[in-house]
Structure 1
């Protein structure tokens, strides 16, 4: 595996690429995104430590989305040849990769519901619940506090709303006592209420347990 340190806002792979390797996020935040013909970006997933956001490229030869860094990241690149060999020799690892792609699909389904059927306030709360739950699962959050180096512009691209709207929603979430922010530090004083507002049920993440409960 080749390990590289990448800068903020740097593409790891691009839509249309025919990669011969997959990337493993070792440190930092990244995102999977697509861009419309008129240049508008839609973030379809946030990627954290332990994620392999382009695992599908092991079997789908042309990428249909891009992956880029949100902050400085350490990324490992694993040749497809090595992954194929590993899966052939160890069926349990092949099954784990299959499970990973199924969980990704479950998250994509939840994001469709979030953007399509929830109002901006609930939509934002849901996303914050998801991120905190996932970060806790890999020991990157303490209690209900974590570092979240995602800009309001990036949140807008993920939630399908403007940066101004994101700012207003965050102000309302603070006023309602659901979140506190200090730079990139996010604290959730009332986790139960935030989950209620966000209509958040962590089942779709398929973790062994909701460690943020």
Structure 2
């Protein structure tokens, strides 16, 4: 499959698709030079996707995992009448469906929430690397544990914070996760995700989501455009979101 223009852009910046996965694992676990070479040798089948086309559907039995290379994906579940709750947002470098390596049937849907490029890796190739390099198996296990930690903080965020704090908290989280893989530009990061998608993550309406963005801008915390978010006051944003980065278990704990 031909590489997308997004992947070509990454290559011109000397960041290969495999390097994003390596950066993600390095941010949470030591990775040796030999292990880095093994990760670089993993075959990735590159695909470009748009919102509205699932990567994996609930009930499917996938034989491969995907690495997010460009854009953002979400894990979601549906109610019987079609209501959607976004359970997690994944950034480049993440393997959002790593659970499928050990769980035969998917109990959630995985979909793009922006224009997105992913790389598919067959389960057998991941298992071979883990068998040959057991520490990489530990790193991927640690990744799933951190996913669980993020779920717990999201539950607290939605259950106990007002919408203003929920949004501030997520922006802090995204800033740190993207910084860990080298995808921030100073105090800004690319985030072309619609307010309707974010509303499904926060359990609020699109209108309410728009108001919250406006409140954060009015208080001098954020500058939001259709494609980017700029953090104007990091310390105040953390306070507004009651944000403690411990649950991310990153080597680097604050944006520069």
- 2:102 alignment partner, one of 59, 64, 69: 59
Find the counterpart in structure 1 of residue 139 from structure 2: 96
Find the counterpart in structure 2 of residue 83 from structure 1: 126
- Give the unaligned 5+ runs of structure 1: none
- 2:163 alignment partner, one of 78, 96, 120: 120
The 4+ residue runs of structure 1 with deviation greater than 6 A are none
Find the counterpart in structure 2 of residue 179 from structure 1: 222
Find the counterpart in structure 1 of residue 80 from structure 2: 37
Mapping 1:1-80, distance limit 5 Å: 1-80=44-123
User: How many residues matched?
Assistant: 213
Find the counterpart in structure 2 of residue 149 from structure 1: 192
Q: How much does 1:143 deviate?
A: 2.1
Find the counterpart in structure 2 of residue 158 from structure 1: 201
Higher strand share: 1
Contact map agreement 2:213 2:224 (CA 8 A) in 1: no
Contact map agreement 1:137 1:211 (CA 8 A) in 2: no
TM-score normalised by structure 2 residue count: 0.81
Contact map agreement 1:9 1:71 (CA 8 A) in 2: no
- Give the unaligned 5+ runs of structure 2: 1-43
Taking the aligned partners of 1:9 and 1:177, their CA distance within structure 2 comes to 34
Q: How much does 1:28 deviate?
A: 1.5
Find the counterpart in structure 2 of residue 207 from structure 1: 250
- Which deviates more, 114-123 or 81-90? 81-90
TM-score normalised by structure 1 residue count: 0.96
